[in-house]
């Protein structure tokens, strides 16, 4: 990527401010005071144990891997949602390299907004994919609880398609380009083979399970490979 593709901080901030109106997972604030935030890499190095343990406690799960998986799914949604929406609505891929996480929760922010114009990149989908999946690779590398890598890949795919579905619902005119971009992303790297789109509204069936159903009050999510097997189905809970 060359400097000529770079978007200004003002352009990236404006794009992120706009897409934040789509919902909580699309919120990725920029700038602001440093107090209360830390580099997300520090959380990766600690295995995201604070959020995983909080999720485990909240859902009264008996297996630590349930908390890890659900925390990972939520984190993936907070990465994919604003990044995908910025590309689809504003033609900007946010640079997630300086990402920070709130000290007291899952929220993320970019202290120094940066990014690239998609029309100046040779392969915008690949750049978008790398911005998100690089974060998820670091998350997985720091985990202290054993969990199947393909389960995490399925979480990433589920979060991507979930974000695309919300965006399509809000902006139905984006159906064709958004579907094309989502399909392209699902065919890059570790997302290959994680599932398939099952309908024109970006419904999805993954080939793995996020394990939420293993919590005492949990159910199988609508895109789960096990959905429909004599259990209740529910929307994703993150």
Strands in 56-95 per DSSP E: 92-94
Q: Looking at residue 62, what is its pLDDT?
A: 85
Q: Looking at residue 222, what is its pLDDT?
A: 67
Q: Looking at residue 229, what is its pLDDT?
A: 55
3-state secondary structure of 221: strand
3-state secondary structure of 24: helix
Q: Looking at residue 30, what is its pLDDT?
A: 97
Q: Looking at residue 233, what is its pLDDT?
A: 41
Burial per residue of 169-206, b for 16 or more beta-carbon CB atoms within 10 angstroms, e otherwise: eeeeebeeebbebbeebbeeebbeebbebeeeebebbb
Short-list 160, 169, 144, CA closest to 192: 160
Cβ(26)–Cβ(81) below 8 Å: yes
Low pLDDT (below 50) residues in the chain: 231-238
Percentage, residues of the chain above pLDDT 70: 89
Q: Looking at residue 64, what is its pLDDT?
A: 87
Q: Looking at residue 217, what is its pLDDT?
A: 65
Short-list 132, 73, 121, 123, CA closest to 97: 132
Residue 29 in tokens: 């604030």
Q: Looking at residue 238, what is its pLDDT?
A: 38
């Amino acid at each position: 990527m060359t400097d000529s593709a770079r978007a200004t901080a003002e352009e990236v901030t404006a794009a992120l401010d706009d897409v934040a109106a789509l919902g909580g997972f699309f919120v990725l604030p920029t700038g602001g005071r440093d107090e209360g935030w830390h580099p997300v890499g520090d959380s990766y190095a600690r295995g995201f144990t604070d959020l995983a343990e909080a999720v485990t406690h909240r859902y009264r799960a008996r297996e630590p891997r349930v908390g890890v998986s659900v925390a990972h799914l939520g984190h993936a949604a907070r990465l994919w949602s604003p990044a995908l929406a910025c590309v689809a609505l504003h033609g900007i891929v946010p640079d997630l390299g300086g990402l920070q996480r709130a000290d007291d929760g899952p929220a993320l922010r970019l202290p120094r907004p940066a990014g690239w114009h998609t029309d100046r990149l040779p392969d915008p989908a690949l750049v978008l994919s790398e911005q998100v999946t690089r974060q998820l690779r670091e998350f997985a590398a720091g985990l202290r609880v054993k969990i199947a890598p393909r389960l995490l890949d399925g979480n990433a795919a589920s979060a991507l398609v979930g974000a695309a579905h919300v965006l399509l619902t809000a902006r139905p005119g984006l159906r064709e380009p958004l579907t094309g971009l989502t399909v392209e992303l699902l065919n890059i790297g570790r997302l290959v083979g994680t599932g398939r789109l099952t309908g024109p509204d970006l419904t999805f069936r993954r080939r793995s399970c996020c394990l939420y159903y293993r919590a005492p009050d949990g159910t199988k999510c609508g895109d789960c490979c096990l959905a429909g097997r004599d259990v209740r189905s529910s929307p994703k809970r993150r």
